[in-house]
A and B are shown apart, each in its own frame.
Chain A
Amino acid sequence: AQKVTQAQTEISVVEKEDVTLDCVYETRDTTYYLFWYKQPPSGELVFLIRRNSFDEQNEISGRYSWNFQKSTSSFNFTITASQVVDSAVYFCALSDLLVVGRDDKIIFGKGTRLHILP
């Protein structure tokens, strides 16, 4: 069965600190996608990144970076030099579909609430 675990329910850090949000997943598939989404206090959902299981290269986008390690089934998200605007709930998700036509499902973790304190 597929599963996504975000063990950190809530994290608080002081502005400008770096923070890493953990995501551990379980799947029997060899091909899959991993995602991160952000939900700020205003409530909308924002797609941050999609990574396929063939690509283990780390990705950096501005202050955001993602570390994908198949060996530990983890897809961790780091915010460098955090800002108050980064305060949000962050969700990690897993999808087992890479081939059009197969059933696809997206499994979410329970989210990590991140507080950036000024």
Chain B
Amino acid sequence: QVQLQQSGPGLVKPSQTLSLTCAISGDSVSSNSAAWNWIRQSPSRGLEWLGRTYYRSKWYNDYAVSVKSRTTINPDTSKNQFSLQLNSVTPEDTAVYYCVREDNRRYSYWGQGTLVTVSS
């Protein structure tokens, strides 16, 4: 059974960097059949896909245009986890952030969610 455990701070100051980590159990971040995504949810934006990383003989990334210039999603094969870094945050980045496993183009496993508030 795949489990995703998120960690990271719940409060970030404006202009700083939001950093979250998702630890994977029951699967490998280097799986050739899965992709590892970050999705956020807020009342104003609903469910918003941010990006993903996946391995198909080499590593690939995709990002949403709205956050591409500020976002990095990285795998960590030594710890079997992946991370999200979102730079230069504003209060509009306040949301619940989820890490999600994608297989066969569907989101079958979700982390528990982390409420991140951007405030001074």
Real binding pair: no
Please report A residues at the B interface, Cβ cutoff 8 Å.
Answer: none
